[in-house]
Amino acid sequence: MSVRTALAVAAAAFLVLPPAGSAQAVILDEGSFRLSVRGAPTGTETFSIRQTGSGTGATVVAQGRITLDTGYQTRALLQVDGTGHRPSTYQVESTGPERVTVRGQLTGNRFRAQVISPTGESMREYLVGERAVVVDDDVTHHHHFVVAARDGVATPVIVPRLYRQVTATVREVGRENIDVAGQRVSARRISFEANGMARRTLWVDDQGKLLRLSIPETGFLAERLALPD
């Protein structure tokens, strides 16, 4: 079963999104990451990001599944508007020692997020500007939308699971040769810094597809298992 088919089946049982219209979906990126912490393998993440429509009428849907070696699993689904940033629908569901579900919905210029965990249920509301992005530290492919942020411009970031809204600065800091699936490739290196969040570095190809994500503070590393198409 292909990555695209497997994720489509999982999403159908996870969250039903509004119809995207008759326009054919374009795959912006799909693949898998190998996850590790301080050099020790911890699991994998499989994802797909697709777009229907074009311009301001476009809809982008990102969905993925994270499976850890401990048996802990996370499924994520995020829908954003035609800018490739502003979140409209969001859901993350984690299962393992504890079950945590996060649901978010855009209404006007406010994003309402509900977190359900063994300790109870809570609701938070965030003001959402034009360039806002959603990031979950446990979901690597969400950083696809960070890459698209304007270089050097303050970007509002919502972290629903941690009840946070912060301002981040995203900067391209040069190019670097890195290994991807045994091949040496030239990648753009991007710095992501925000108050209240661990600093991270992203490496992307010339099409903006994420190849690697590093969070030095926690020792987390996500590495692409194969070069993007």
Residue bearing the bigger pLDDT, 44 or 161: 44
Domain assignment present for 144:
yes
Question: Is 200's pLDDT higher than 50?
Answer: yes
Give the dihedral of Cα atoms 189, 195, 196, 198; nearest 10 deg. Answer: 20
Give the span between the Cα atoms of 68 and 52, in whole angstroms: 31
H/E stretch holding 72: none
Residue bearing the bigger pLDDT, 57 or 172: 172
Domain assignment present for 64:
yes
Give the span between the Cα atoms of 185 and 169, in whole angstroms: 26
The confidence score (pLDDT) of residue 84 equals 55
| Alpha carbon distances (Å) from 132 to 70, 170, 175, 229 | 33, 13, 26, 28
Domain assignment present for 20:
no
Domain assignment present for 208:
yes
Domain assignment present for 147:
yes
Position 23 confidence tier, pLDDT thresholds 50, 70, 90? low
The confidence score (pLDDT) of residue 68 equals 95
Domain assignment present for 21:
no
Q: Residue with structure tokens 């670097």? A: 176
**Beta carbons of 171 and 161 less than 8 angstroms apart:** no
The confidence score (pLDDT) of residue 18 equals 43
Q: How many CB atoms lie within 10 A of CB 41?
A: 12
| Alpha carbon distances (Å) from 168 to 15, 126, 160, 196 | 29, 16, 15, 10
Question: Is 59's pLDDT higher than 80?
Answer: yes
Instruction: Name the domain count of the chain.
Output: 1
Angle, vertex CA 20, rays to CA 137 and CA 165, nearest 5: 25
Over residues 107-130, the pLDDT tens digits come to 888 999 999 988 899 999 998 877
Domain assignment present for 22:
no
The confidence score (pLDDT) of residue 31 equals 97
The confidence score (pLDDT) of residue 86 equals 80
Over residues 69-90, the pLDDT tens digits come to 998 999 999 999 866 568 899 9
The confidence score (pLDDT) of residue 152 equals 76
Question: Is 9's pLDDT higher than 90?
Answer: no
Domain, as residue range, for 135: 3-14+28-224
Question: Is 43's pLDDT higher than 70?
Answer: yes
Domain assignment present for 23:
no
Position 147 confidence tier, pLDDT thresholds 50, 70, 90? confident
